[in-house]
Amino acid sequence: MRHAVLVMMMSMFAAAAAWAQAPEPELKVGDPAPDFSLQASDGKTYKLSDLKGKQAVVIAWFPKAFTQGCTIECKSLAEHGDMIKKYNVKYFMASVDPVEENTKFGAEHKADFPLLSDPTKKTAEAYGVLGPKGFAQRWTFYIGKDAKIAAIDKAVKPATSAEDMAAKLGELGVEPAKRGS
């Protein structure tokens, strides 16, 4: 009897621990995008709440600076960013790398857009992109001016990232950029 009670109590503790560590429900289109305040490669700190009502936002999460796929994606966005800039959007690449690492990475690949750093991994967790090895998954989030998720791309192709991003912004009906901005 004592053994049965002990087994039952251990099962209850295990279930409670598993429940306490359960991940947030996966974000879906229409959900409010988790707010963030992250340092960027351009020396600024960006907050989603500061952009609400002003611009759409794209966050292209990537696993690790200076790795092959991430380099290809960064080059695509740097070389073809003019396609994205036709829209009223603020776009970022983001990783859990330290800001110093992302700053070097962005400079090496002539990124003319900010790379966000989330070394605490809290924002990556909030977006559900943190993989089992502690790196962000290569997912891109499209966030409307209303700060709600408009689309999520979980099949990002690094080589055509800029073209695909611009096409998705058009498909979502994001307004054109104002001249001179």
**CA neighbours closer than 13 Å in the CB half-sphere of residue 38:** 28
Tell me the pairing of strands 56-61 and 89-95. Answer: parallel
Using CA atoms, how far apart are residues 47 and 105, in angstroms rounded to an integer? 22
| Catalytic residue numbers, as ranges | 70
Residue-wise DSSP of 38-84: EEETTS-EEEHHHHTTT-EEEEEE-S-TTSHHHHHHHHHHHHSHHHH
Phi then psi dihedrals of residue 49, to 5 deg: -60, -30
